[in-house]
Amino acid sequence: MAQVDPPRRATIHQVAQLAGVSHQTVSRYLRDDGGMKPATRLRIDSAVKALDYRPNLVARSMRTRRTNRLAIVLPSTLYFPHRLVLAASATAHEAGYQLDIVSAEGGAEQRVRRITDLADSGQVDGILSLAPVDVPAGGRIPVLISGTYDEQMHGLGELADGSAVSEIIDHLAGLGHRTFFHLAGPQSFTSARNRKVVYLETIARLGLRSYGVTETDWSAQSAYDVITGLPADCGVTAVVAANDVLAMGAIRGAFSRGWRVPDDLSVFGWDDDEVGRFATPSLSTVVVDREAQGRDAILHLIAAVRGEPAPPPSPGPLNQVVVRESIAPPPPAAR
């Protein structure tokens, strides 16, 4: 059988000829240099798609001493922030980079050593660490520290911001709710601690009644057990849960004891897990834009690699309260 040669890849010169520009202009397009006319960019973009042009990254790296690879360092594989990483990977790819995911297990010293070794290896052009780490400045490539997670992948910074709990309680109080209960999650998490603090502060600020705060693990079973254990005369009409899993457990616990959701009990979660959107009733929650976090972090890293000013962050809040079917005014007798 005769051997069939694979089709030859399109070259940058063919792209330039089809677009009616010089190959230097195509090179500027591939580097995403600013100042190019929109019409020129559109012609090159059409030519790249028509020819299925893919840059030869190996040849480019030999010329520029760049690998066109970036790395995200995770402090642990206990939890994988897939939404953040997927958005970061897509953003890197659009800018002409490949993204490597590196796990740096162990304590802070081991993580510093792993990042330093990677930075000195010449394998990547820039590194993003999702956890705080004290890497010496002045290395050969940019190392950005996002501080999004701690060493156990517990959320920090905006991910741990609990201020949306105030908006939740304000909304429920506006519907007529006066007696609340909080499923607080494990207090080893900064996010859980912050949400508990805001819950207590808001209840006090509005002069409402909190029947209690229970520190649970993150399981639906723990929430189910707490709700089924509440006294029949507790007066609770609204539950604020520290995440969606706890909220779903609370709803099932309410149903098991004959309480209707939302007619007898309103329930609010946090995270916007997909299952909550399709539950009956659909779950009111806090949408966390982890995609924006991933995009912003990688764009900052790419700017540092290219020696450009850091881009502005994505507009809008990271956390957004979304009202769905799991909340309603309380029963008339409780108002």
- 275 and 197 within one domain: yes
| 32 part of a folded domain | yes
For residue 93, the domain's CATH number is 3.40.50.2300
| 125 part of a folded domain | yes
Q: What percent of the chain has pLDDT over 70?
A: 84
| 171 part of a folded domain | yes
CA-CA-CA-CA torsion for 213, 219, 221, 224, nearest 10 degrees? 40
φ, ψ for residue 143 (rounded to 5)?
Answer: -125, 110
Query: Against a cut of 0.85, is the pTM above it?
Result: no
Q: Count structural domains, the chain.
A: 3
Q: What angle do CA 182, 241, 200 make, to 5 degrees?
A: 35
Do 318 and 287 touch, CB atoms closer than 8 A?
no
- 277 and 174 within one domain: yes
| 61 part of a folded domain | no
- 201 and 327 within one domain: yes
Domain range for residue 23? 12-55
- 297 and 280 within one domain: no
Strand partners, 213: 182
CA-CA-CA-CA torsion for 155, 159, 162, 163, nearest 10 degrees? 170
| 60 part of a folded domain | no
| 164 part of a folded domain | yes
| pLDDT, position 188 | 87
For residue 30, the domain's CATH number is 1.10.260.40
| pLDDT, position 110 | 77
Amino acid, single-letter form, for residue 254? A
| 206 part of a folded domain | yes
How far is the CA of 251 from the CAs of 205, 226, 232, 243, 326, in angstroms?
27, 11, 16, 13, 9
| pLDDT, position 263 | 96
| pLDDT, position 1 | 43
* Tens digits of residue pLDDT in 9-68: 788 888 888 989 887 888 777 766 666 788 888 888 888 888 888 765 444 544 445 678
- 197 and 325 within one domain: yes
Residue ranges of the chain whose pLDDT lies below 50: 1-5, 57-59, 61-64, 153
